[in-house]
Amino acid sequence: MRARPLPCLSLLCAALLAASAAPAAEDAEPAGPSGREIYDRVLANRFDAYEQQARLVSGDRAGNEQESRMTVLWKSFRDEQGEPRKGALSKTRIRYTHPFDLRFSGYLLINNRDRPDDQFVYLNSRRRIRRVNLRGEPVLGSDFSFEDVVPRELEDADYRRLPDERMDGRDAWVVEVTPRAGTESEYSRFQSWIDRKRDVVLQTVYWDTTGVKVKELRSPAADVKDFEGVWVPMRTEMRNLLTGGYTVLHVDELAGNPSVDDGEFDPRRLESH
């Protein structure tokens, strides 16, 4: 908990200048589905809503580890035509259950179309809800940021398909994703290896806004579980390539498509225990 191909922001000007020109042959995508079509399949492989109990186990080079636990509630706010309701694409509520000093604290993240996202934090020790900007913020000191754990929307980025490869014994699509301006991403681009049969991301490599490779995420193919036709990674590891730190996200329990009232995502619900 504790997640589409895009051009690097550092190359944005060059990309704009070349936009009207025909792409070079070596830049053409491989035959078959485009990068956007592949990532659309990844996003289609999910529930309309879910609730999960998860653990984040973080460690450093010295072998020191710490654990946090949380409940994650997520819901799509798209209508039957796939359009956002009242401008919202999806909403996520995260509530900590461990460690004790953070119990009942939580976050509400609202992914909007055509306007900045809404993000709120509630700290039980202060009994106050605040609007915040969580760009680049770690999830409870882990190597996952909130951008890594909140499911993405197709409109967030641009996608380019790269040549296919093998990943963890599986045939994989490879898609380069470039976050669009206005999404306030901490990444200039990232590259994902996607299981061709199960439409699950098996590995992602991230570059920061200066073009430095900073993180690597892996979801072992053996830990991907089928929930009534929806394939879900039950174990995902994020490694910080600069510090040597790591965090493993374990999904201990998952309920797909529970009945979730829209009111569960009212910011005031963060205060209820």
**pTM listed for this prediction:** 0.83
**Distance of alpha carbon 270 from alpha carbon 127, whole angstroms:** 10
What integer pLDDT is reported at residue 4 of this predicted model? Answer: 37
In CATH, the number for domain 9-17+31-254 is: 2.50.20.10
What are the structural domain ranges in the chain?
9-17+31-254
Element (H, E) at 147: helix 146-149
In sequence order, the 6+-apart residues with CB closer than 8 A to the CB of 252 are 52, 53, 54, 55
pLDDT at 254 over 80: yes
Distance CA 15, CA 178 (A): 12
Specify the pLDDT at position 150.
82
Tell me, what DSSP letter sits at residue 15?
H
Comparing 127 with 241, which gets the higher pLDDT? Answer: 241
What tens digit of pLDDT does each residue of 143-184 get?
Answer: 999 889 887 777 789 999 999 999 999 999 999 999 988 777
What pLDDT digit, counting tens, does each position of 101-150 carry? 889 999 999 999 888 889 999 998 888 999 998 878 888 789 999 889 88
Helices (H) and strands (E) in the chain, counts: 3, 15
Asked whether residue 5 carries a pLDDT value surpassing 60, the answer given is no
